[in-house]
Structure 1
Amino acid sequence: MRLAVLPWLLLLSGSALPALANSGPGMRLASGAADVARIAPPRIDQALSTLVDSGELVGVSALVWQDGREAYFGSFGLADREAGRPMARDTIVQIYSMTKPLTGVALMQLYEQGRLDLDAPLAQYLPEYAAVRVYAGTDVKGKPLLVAPDRPILVRDILRHTAGFASGGNEPGPVGAMYRKADPENFGHTLEQMSRRLAGVPLLYQPGTRWLYSSAVDVQARLVEVLSGKPFARYLQDHVLGPLGMDDTGYTLGEGDWPRVAALYQRSDDGVMTRIPDAKAYPLNRGGVALTPGSWGLTSTLDDYMRFARMLANGGQLDGVRLLQPATVRLMASDSLPAGITDTSWLPGKGRVGFGIDFAVRIAPPARADEASGEVGEFFWDGAANTLFWVDPVNDITAVLFAQWVPFGKVPLHKVFRDAVYADDTSAAAPRE
């Protein structure tokens, strides 16, 4: 997740994921109707509106589907405080790292076509990674020691953040300095140039030994280009966004889109929200930029992203359009971290989770009261401006939550929303007036 302003399943072809809930690691069917979460709109209304009314948030909106129908929509506060424009259903926001699952779907389409072996060396497809070296400390003169990797970076490593890449431009030490000098994420670079520059930076750790969030999904986007012969943004439009009818999702905003675009706010430690100028808040989206990252950069609306989430919940298809086979969605939504990995950076902060292909995967129920509610078998991800989505096969729930402030966290929005969705208080389930 990066901001320019903040150097940031059974194999039955027609089956939906709820029917697959007992077929993968950590997934199970609910044992009976009493065990299934039931959405109570007034409870969610109260939870979200309280955060806005208290001044913790400028604006927030949410959409929840359950059992194949819309179960909740709510919007509170302002999308643009300075213009007095309310948060609305069609408000366009930066989804930042919620771009990653879309990239993963694009790449896995090519995997289904037999163009990609997940256990092949990455260099088989992107030769620039054949000569990577691994940082192994410094010598007595303080010069970096670089060694050959114990094994090649595998395609699977760039899907689950175990490739060895540094975490980005803020990485301390010699590798961070080399990363900043290479400047792979410069907006003037194409994905090809980005990948070549990244390949020239030493790996921070041996492939497969650690989970560390990185630019790996940008490499996925470059891999889509190489395998498909199309620019990544064009492939994404032709094979994911267009077929799903996600007409409000893309890298470039048109002139007519801006009246619906949410402002982005910087939250201070004492809770003051200061608007970030649009030119800095939406650096990629005005056009004229070469980079189309796989890891961030898309803008979207609640309904657009919900179509994507519902496609995943339905085992790879929606409204008669199939993007992936159910087995592929199950693969993406299954924990694939090697058993020997104990260093997983901040991933445990998202709960008791593993990692699949561009999703976190819940592998155990919350163990403490301060953990957000959720169901074993769900898969999810979020974005730097505090957006969130998840798919819960057990309860047949898909949820999308939008807000627009940085830095990530500070306000417990995700926990408040999740707890309201999963609370057991059935008295709150009365219809809204």
Structure 2
Amino acid sequence: MNKTILALLSILLLATSFQQPEIAYKARKVPAIIDKSVKARIDATLKSFVDSGKIAGVSALIFEKNKEVYYNAFGHADREAKIPMDRNTIVRIYSMTKPVTGVALMQLYEKGAFQLDDPLAKYLPEFADMKVYKGVDAAGNLILEPAKRPITIRDITRHTAGFATSTNLPGLSDLVKQADVMNPANTLSEMAKKLAGLPLEFHPGEQWAYGPSVDVQAYLVERISGKPFDQYLQENIFNPLGMTNTRYVVPASDRQKFAGMYRRSTEGQLTRVPDDENTYNIKNWPLKPGGFGLTSTLDDYMKFARMLVNKGKSGKATILKPETIKLMATNHLAESITERMWLPSKGQVGFGIDFAVRLRPPFTKEENNGVVGEFFWDGAASTLFWVDPVNEVTAVLFVQVMPFYGQLHKRFRDAVYGEYLPK
């Protein structure tokens, strides 16, 4: 056999050796995440929080590869009225409204209505020529400087716009209180005008700071689409997905299914929030914010989550293109943005378009567990959802307790994936 043939055979064998692992990988059956033992572990975990009196009630729903693999509920939606938590319980999802708003905005992006790095003022001129707070002088007057660059639409999708929210900055905090930007009597237009009248807390793009950015997104959707924001959501997201129980205002006919809200003291005692202190969702206020305010049921929000894991599709409905979902679930925070408020408490994450995005496995067993590539968000009353595209898992956890109860999320995630043990 001559040298030429031997050389060709060697190349062929080498190429085959690289292909074999890929063929073996494709043939390998990936085990299910949610099996009988995991279901029992989730049950025990959620029940323990109710039995210990840490929460009044909780429910969870999980789909894996487009099949329902877990549902259960424990405790009460309304402890005092002895109404059990169940599948039809309506809860306040607070900031889990934000991903819904992000999807609405990105539908308009797909139509070519804007680019992410366009100046926000191109569409909302209220936000032109913004000034940045630098402190106060000896007389207590604000020291301001021009923003180094305009706020972009990307900034409002990733919380880097610099909007003022602090209550402990001399001079600026008083202005924030006086503006009362998120007063429910404001329309989105009035909210935006008041917000734009405040100095920024930092230059756009220099920090990650949670605030009213997504409410500005809602106003942008309203301005570009020409429709009231709640109407836009109904026509373009809720109706196509069959989300019949997701809305800002819970009608009187459904109030019996509306969960009570509970406050947990530092000693662990639960107190029901009086209904007259929590009227946002039982009165039709002018403000329809993008950052909070929606109510939903487990099954309704799961329809939204499954649309995301299915790359923008749900049955015959196409809500977004696959490449848009990928863009939303990609980290948009540069490593140079080191000031990130409390975002690091979510684990090894960056931030995409209205989602946290998991970049690395946990470094310690105390951190929130999850799969690299997962995207997720939660709500002030301790609700949670995530999309795990690697395993095609979507999970929704509903509870109504304040302040935010991160330990419940930690334990729920560990119950689903198993406690993470660092290498």
Q: State TM-score, norm by structure 2.
A: 0.90
Question: Which of the pair has the greater relative contact order for Cα pairs under 8 Å at 6+ separation?
Answer: 1
Partner of 1:290: 286
- The answer for the alignment partner of 1:215 in structure 2 is 212
Aligned to 1:408: 404
C-alpha deviation, 1:338, in angstroms? 2.3
The aligned counterpart of 1:110 is 108
Note the 1:225-240 alignment, pairs <5 A. Answer: 225-240=222-237
- Change in Cα spacing, 1:93 to 1:171, as seen in structure 2 (3 Å) is farther
Whole-Å separation in 2 of the counterparts to 1:293 and 1:270: 33
Structure 1 distance, partners of 2:284, 2:296, is 19
Structural RMSD (CA): 1.7
1:21 aligned residue? none
Q: Of the candidates 339, 345, 352, which is equivalent to residue 341 of structure 2?
A: 345
In the TM superposition, 1:369-408 aligns within 5 A as 369-408=365-404
Question: How far does the alpha carbon of each residue in 1:180-217 deviate from its partner, in whole angstroms, 9 at most, with x for none?
Answer: 11111111110000001000010000000000001000
> What 5-or-longer segments of structure 1 have no aligned partner?
1-28, 426-433
Contact 1:44-1:421 within 8 A present in 2 as well? yes
Q: What's the CA shift for 1:35? A: 6.8
Q: Is the 8 A contact 2:350 2:359 kept in 1?
A: yes
Specify which structure has the higher proportion of helix: 2
CA distance in 2, matches of 1:399, 1:236: 22
Q: 1:91 aligns with which of 79, 89, 92?
A: 89
Q: Is the 8 A contact 2:365 2:419 kept in 1?
A: no
Q: Find out whether 1:224 has 2:198 as its counterpart.
A: no
Aligned equivalent of 1:9: none
CA drift of 1:142 comes to 2.8
What does residue range 25-424 of structure 1 map to in structure 2 within 5 Å? Answer: 33=29, 37-39=33-35, 40-167=38-165, 170=167, 172-281=169-278, 283-409=279-405, 412-423=407-418
Aligned partners of 1:211 and 1:345 also within 8 Å? yes
Contact 2:59 2:397 in 1 (8 A): yes
Structure 1 counterpart of 2:16: none
Q: Secondary structure at the match of 1:178?
A: helix
Do the aligned partners of 1:30 and 1:395 also contact (CA within 8 Å) in 2?
no
- How many residue pairs get matched? 394
Please state whether the residue corresponding to 1:296 is helix, strand or coil.
Answer: coil
- CA displacement at 1:363 relative to structure 2: 0.4
Separation of aligned partners in 2, 1:173 and 1:422: 46
Contact (CA 8 Å) 1:36, 1:394: kept in 2 or not?
Answer: no
Q: Secondary structure at the residue paired with 2:177?
A: helix
**What is the CA–CA distance in structure 1 between the aligned matches of 2:246 and 2:362, rounded to whole Å?**
33
3-state SS of 2:171 partner: helix
What one-letter code is carried by the residue in structure 2 that aligns with 1:299? T
Contact 1:221-1:294 at 8 Å conserved across structures: yes
**Structure 1 residue 43 displacement after superposition:** 1.2
How big is each residue's C-alpha offset from its partner over 1:108-145, in whole Å with a ceiling of 9 and x where there is no partner? 00000001111110000000001211001222333211
Shift of 1:30: 10
Shift of 1:297: 0.4
For residues 135 and 31 of structure 1, what CA distance do their matches in structure 2 show? 59
Please tell me whether Structure 1 or Structure 2 has the larger radius of gyration of its CA atoms: 2
Distance in 2, Cα, partners of 1:247 & 1:421: 28
The whole-number CA distance in structure 2 between the counterparts of 1:30 and 1:424 is 28
* Alpha-carbon distance change, 359 to 32 in structure 1, aligned in 2, over 3 angstroms: farther
Whether the 8 Å contact between 1:310 and 1:318 is mirrored in structure 2 is: yes
What's the offset of the Cα at 1:56?
1.4
TM-score (norm 1): 0.88
Letter in 1 for 2:193: R
- SS of the residue aligned with 1:43? helix
2:92 partner amino acid: Q
